[in-house]
Chains A and B, each alone.
Chain A
């Protein structure tokens, strides 16, 4: 049985100019100990769908779903208090900007211990021991001293480690990492990704990695879900996705990787993700797709079967022999 199972999740934001569909009927499955990457451009709804799972969206958001089951519990049916006992405990999340995600008024030690006290009810001495243990686990040198530091006294990478320590403090079954390395420089990025992968190996927790960086995906993920304009357009294990992408968007994303470039100029995808007012009637990617024809522009494509990675396209790529991407 999968650890997390989401069916037909939609999130709409009510804005001054009407409703905006940020997430449109997406499905997710995460098995225990699995690393799932959700990729897509900015505005593709990858963060929003996970924030919806955590219950962290502002009140302007309307979340609907047929099913959200986590660890055998139906998150759609349970009340706020029961949800609070799961969130931050079995289900944890880290964010993009470690510098602003930690409270500037409290020491990092206090912030880590708060979770331990709140969810596990540890006494002071046990909190202290566990906090030091956690800091060692996430590779923070001199943990005893660092516990009394404030976030502004530490680097971005160290703060992200604190965030991770906080998130894994209650031994979560699933950790959602929302672009955990975007705000960090490249060497630190690799360290943090290694840390997350190591923690997964040690603890057997599931990991959802939200990113727009295909390089990060290739290095870390096991399965990849590609989102575009709020829809999931393709999902495959990482190897097949990189070798045989079925959706033209995935193919275009991969072509835009510098390592894969064959010409002098890096290929790009023209245009931007459609917003609230320029949502196409047919396939959402059709205005930017080099394969699009009249059907694509008028009829939204259905979702193909699992053998084609649930691709949402009228003309999937790499379906059989001899078709080049």
Chain B
């Protein structure tokens, strides 16, 4: 097992270099100059421009710049933001909990609804529930995130006034945030109504972000369940006189989980990509919104560092998923 983890960690290296290369290259391919953007409408003299160019190192060859960036990264230095002058590292970890909280809630939402939906559809194959659930899932999967978000905001925030439109919590609440997770911090603060407010702010972004993973998980669970339900050991379970709930929920689902866990792992990548749109729409102060803002400001260190850290997060999730296979299916553990 340890060997396996070490080998997997080694494969991180090329991915890591690739991500740094791509993030470094692509942001520079975008038209626009960070120095001009920084200067704003006042503009600046040619001398001042040359001075700043030398200060940021833009006057040197691009390979030298990349090498310096890469050595910096390997020493744990992701650089400072052009705009705020604060280290990228600090900014990322100040904002990441917000994204993590939203992603975890969205994934929870997707799994808690998607697994049962897939099981119910598989068990009622070809009947009403199957058709209803699977066509709903297809609609959910094809729904553009921004449109779906606006639709929910109009109905639930606008017309019904059930949920707030944006942010993580009402402005009247203020408390220290040692964990960065609003749900935990608001509970710890002990202020009445703070937790409810945090939950109400979280509902719509969670639904919006979780919709596509939900649809994917439901469809994958259904097809995996259908395959498993035809297996001999399901007949054995029925011959034991077990209830259909136990057969489907324990004997079949455990076997069907392998492909489902795979798509859950892959969805994490999608989730972080979706978080960028969702966070922008709901003004959610997470890394998605931070990244988008940085791209507009041509804040090179932030874009590079942010992409890299997101990539690392996705890689860690995928490694975890691979190790979960063995926990769920002992047959894989042997290999």
Which A residues fall within an 8 A CB radius of B? 54-56, 83-89, 92-93, 95, 97, 100-106, 114-115, 118-119, 150, 152-153, 163, 166-167
Contacts and interface: CB of A to CB of B under 8 A. Distances in A.
A89 B254 CA distance: 24
Interface in B216-267: 231-233, 235-243, 251, 254-255
A323 to B, nearest CB: 44
A88 B329 CA distance: 26
A271 to B, nearest CB: 30
Most chain B CB within a 10 A radius of its CB, from A85, A95, A104, A118: A104
Nearest to B328: A105
Contacts of A115: 240
A282 B233 CA distance: 40
A118 B247 CA distance: 12
Contacts, number: 72
B236 A103 contact: yes
A119 B241 CA distance: 8
Given A97-B232, A102-B233, A87 B331 contact: no
A103 B255 CA distance: 8
B255 to A, nearest CB: 5
15 contacts: A56-B235, A87-B238, A88-B239, A93-B239, A95-B236, A101-B232, A101-B233, A102-B236, A103-B233, A103-B237, A103-B255, A104-B255, A106-B251, A115-B240, A153-B334
B240 A103 contact: no
B330 interface: yes
B235 to A, nearest CB: 6
Contacts of B237: 103
Contacts of B236: 95, 101-103, 163, 166
A249 to B, nearest CB: 29
A118 B238 CA distance: 12
Nearest to B330: A150
A90 B328 CA distance: 32
A180 to B, nearest CB: 13
Interface residues of B, number: 20
Contact of A92 (B235, B239, B243): B239
Given A95-B236, A103-B251, A163-B236, A152 B330 contact: yes
Give 9 closest A-B pairs by Cβ, nearest first: A88-B241, A88-B240, A87-B241, A100-B232, A103-B233, A84-B241, A105-B254, A101-B232, A150-B330
A101 B239 CA distance: 11
Interface in B280-313: none
Main secondary structure of the interface of B (DSSP, over half): helix
A84 B232 CA distance: 18
B243 A104 contact: no
Contacts of A163: 236
Contacts of B330: 104-105, 150, 152
Contacts of B235: 56, 95, 101
A118 B334 contact: no
A81 to B, nearest CB: 8
Contact of A104 (B233, B238, B240, B241): B233
Contacts of A166: 236, 240
Given A95-B236, A102-B233, 5 more contacts: A84-B243, A101-B236, A104-B255, A105-B330, A163-B236
Interface of B: 231-233, 235-243, 251, 254-255, 328-331, 334
Contacts of A167: 239
A118 B241 contact: yes
Contact of B232 (A54, A95, A119, A150): A95
A114 B240 contact: yes
A277 B255 CA distance: 38
A84 B242 contact: yes
Contacts of A105: 254-255, 328-330
Most chain A CB within a 10 A radius of its CB, from B231, B235, B236, B255: B236
A311 B208 CA distance: 70
Contact of B231 (A85, A89, A92, A100): A100
Contacts of B232: 95, 97, 100-101
A100 B254 CA distance: 15
A308 B153 CA distance: 82
Given A95-B232, A97-B232, A152-B334, A104 B239 contact: no
Most chain A CB within a 10 A radius of its CB, from B238, B239, B243: B239
Given A95-B236, A97-B232, A101-B232, A152 B241 contact: no
A115 B241 CA distance: 8
A6 to B, nearest CB: 18
A87 B233 contact: no
A175 to B, nearest CB: 11
B261 to A, nearest CB: 13
Given A95-B232, A102-B233, A87 B334 contact: no
A83 B240 CA distance: 11
Contact of A152 (B238, B239, B328, B331): B331
Contacts of A88: 239-242
A86 B254 contact: no
A101 B237 CA distance: 9
A268 B331 CA distance: 43
B233 A56 contact: no
Nearest to B125: A59
A100 B236 CA distance: 9
